[in-house]
Amino acid sequence: MAELKGKKISFIGGGNMAQALISGLIGRGINPSNITVADPSEAIRDQLKQRKINAVDPTANTETDNSQVAVKGADVVVLAVKPQVMRQVVSDFAEVLDRQLVISVAAGLSTESLSKMLGGYKNIVRAMPNTPAMIQKGATGLYAADYITEADKTLAASLMSASGLVSWVEKEEQLHAVTAVSGSAPAYFFYMLESMIDAAVEQGLDSKQAAALAMQTALGAAQMAITSEEAPAELRRKVTSPNGTTQAAIESLQQDNFAQVMKKAMQACYTRSEEISNELAD
């Protein structure tokens, strides 16, 4: 975190992902006064201001463009708008980019396409974080082209690691797989929780009780998998008594091709990430 001390960090877009990352940074002791966010939503700016973060309106009718000002004064600029609006949002940033490290969290948008949108500016690191960053339990994949300096790579890793685990990929296209296994993946687990809670209620539990039991079990299983020397398959085996209740459940999942269902979902995620990449390429 020493690399971030005193650094000015600007977020362009202050939505779900930006706020999760900001929570991680503040949780790790970054002073909110070093963070600026540009977002056209008044509700979002109000939320941020309550947390003592500078929040500016990029669409305000002022003589100077507020986003440009936020970029100009920053050491690190995190681009956290939807990939489809990126071109329009960053259209006048080239004029004020000179030394800043740009970190883009936009799904799919390649470094090459973003660099073109930024008038050829190259000091870009791509990140694929996820929303558990909000509670510093995030997982982020990072990619930097080989011309990015070690100092900037360290700065990017430091910023993202305020929110949890970071992992570099060597090839940019591997970020599609990162999106499938961690960027989008909190939603798979939330969906699984929703389904388990609904089923437990049908089986006679109160919904609050079902939710508490299912969530604690997800937490326990994840923490066990992280801390154990044993692989998930072995941990599963240890829950599964021969001809017992777990075996019945796992066999039902296998008959329904659970592994195939998961693989297909992750492939859909990967393919959509590739499509976004192609849609935004010149």
Ligand X SMILES: NC(=O)C1=CN([C@@H]2O[C@H](COP(=O)(O)OP(=O)(O)OC[C@H]3O[C@@H](n4cnc5c(N)ncnc54)[C@H](O)[C@@H]3O)[C@@H](O)[C@H]2O)C=CC1
Ligand Y SMILES: O=C(O)[C@@H]1CCC=N1
How many binding residues for ligand X (CB under 6 A)?
28
Query: Which residue of 89, 107, 155, 177 would you call a contact of ligand Y, by CB under 6 A?
Result: 107
Question: Is 184 one of the binding residues for ligand Y (CB under 6 A)?
Answer: yes
Contact 70, 38 (CB under 8 A): yes
Q: Which stretch binds ligand Y (CB under 6 A): 31-39, 53-61, 177-185, 237-245?
A: 177-185
Contact 160, 105 (CB under 8 A): no
Residue 40, classified by CB atoms within 10 Å of its CB into exposed (0-12), middle (13-18) or buried (19+), is middle
Question: Is 85 one of the binding residues for ligand X (CB under 6 A)?
Answer: yes
Query: Which residue of 100, 113, 123, 179 would you call a contact of ligand Y, by CB under 6 A?
Result: 179
Question: Is 131 one of the binding residues for ligand X (CB under 6 A)?
Answer: yes
DSSP 181: I
Question: Is 38 one of the binding residues for ligand X (CB under 6 A)?
Answer: yes
Question: Which among 191, 127, 193 is positioned nearest to 165, based on CA atoms?
Answer: 127
Q: Is 83 annotated as a binding residue?
A: yes
Q: Is 123 annotated as a binding residue?
A: no
Query: Phi/psi of residue 177, each to 5°?
Result: -70, -35
Given CA atoms 121, 106, 153, 147 in this order, what sign does their dihedral have? Answer: negative
Q: Is 132 annotated as a binding residue?
A: no
User: Which residues does the annotation place in the binding site?
Assistant: 12-17, 80-83
What does the binding site for ligand X look like in residue numbers (CB under 6 A)? 12-18, 38-41, 44, 58, 67, 80-83, 85, 89, 105-107, 128-131, 183
